[in-house]
Amino acid sequence: MIENPQASRRSDACTRRSSAAGEPMVARAGHTRLWVLIEHPGPWPKSAPAGVLPQGLLDRIDELGDPARLVLIRRPRRREVTEPRWILAWSDGVNQWMREGVVDSYDDLAALPFEASAAGLEPAAGTARSAPLFVVCTHGKKDACCAELGRPIVTALSAVDGADVWECTHIGGDRFAANMIALPAGVYFSRLGAESARAAARDHLAGRMSLAQLRGRAALPQPAQVAEHVIRETTGIVALDALESYRVTTATDNTAVVDLRIAARDFRVVVRSGPPEEPFRHGCIPDTAATWNRWIVDRFDERVVE
């Protein structure tokens, strides 16, 4: 059993069943480097962004593959948008940038250089943005838990000075709701309650990595997310920008060797995907059993250079 600071009113909710099963959330952030955020006031259908934005835009983002993700955003309680805002946020875990601007219509988004941006090239379009932003999934038509547990987090974050908070569509990991991403770093925080969300946001704004509700850094492949988490947990390194480099080498089908340099210290972590755990069913997607497994750390060494 894993404690979630919030509990759905529905006894068969995916979040309740996941917590009851003991499903870990650490290192389960979907791999994403480029975030394409488009302001849209809603309503958001289950398929959103599909069915909302021009199909040609959806196709272009899909062709970029795993490093890119398209997400709709909106201001809380704002249901009219005349000039939609766009935000491009990119990070490889070490370097990052963010650009923003507005358009007259969603068709104008076709002019943005998504392909070059996905490769890490900061475009000239829009203006550079340095202040972080936070997106919280409230996409209830995709999964009821996201709206039920996400909206209280949006409200709670209004008490955090300097926190620029948006609601957003599906960002993955519904079973770990409430979910929040800090951009441009692409850091996921999950199973949030009001206090833990405010603490995570305040730490992030101060340049610290909060581990309490950390799910993972999306720019890294999941074995590297495991490595970063265990290194920070063991050493107490908290600086958000302490990560300097990483390399993931696949040793076997389910084992990876992660070499990671953080805060001028070198580490090697050997991690593997554990065997499947007992599946569980839930009411959010009643026809499909949820499958899951654990990460297992086989080795953790700090490599001292003489």
**183-202 tens-digit pLDDT:** 999 999 999 999 999 999 99
Q: Which residues pair with 259 in a beta bridge?
A: 247, 268
**252-268 tens-digit pLDDT:** 778 999 999 999 999 99
**84-100 tens-digit pLDDT:** 999 999 999 999 999 99
Q: What is the mean pLDDT of residues 49-60?
A: 96
Confidence of residue 79 (pLDDT cuts 50, 70, 90): confident
Q: What is the mean pLDDT of residues 42-66?
A: 94
Question: Global pTM?
Answer: 0.96
- Closest by CA to 151, choosing from 176, 177, 183, 174, is 177
**238-251 tens-digit pLDDT:** 999 999 999 999 98
Alpha-carbon span 151 to 206, nearest angstrom: 24
Q: What is the mean pLDDT of residues 53-73?
A: 94
| Top-confidence residue, 122 or 78 | 122
Strand order from edge to edge, sheet including 187-189 = 127-128, 96-102, 85-91, 34-39, 68-74, 165-168, 133-137, 180-183, 187-189, 214-217
Please tell me the predicted confidence (pLDDT) of residue 3: 83
Per-residue pLDDT at 289 exceeds 80: yes
Q: What is the mean pLDDT of residues 255-282?
A: 97
Q: Which residues pair with 246 in a beta bridge?
A: 260
Tokens of 59: 């196709």
Confidence of residue 83 (pLDDT cuts 50, 70, 90): very high
Question: Domain 1-219 - what CATH class?
Answer: alpha beta
CA dihedral 101, 219, 76, 201 (to 10 degrees): -110
Report whether 178 contacts 153 (CB < 8 A): yes
Confidence of residue 306 (pLDDT cuts 50, 70, 90): low
Q: What is the mean pLDDT of residues 148-157?
A: 98
Per-residue pLDDT at 106 exceeds 80: yes
Alpha-carbon span 167 to 247, nearest angstrom: 33
Please tell me the predicted confidence (pLDDT) of residue 303: 86
Q: What is the mean pLDDT of residues 260-278?
A: 97
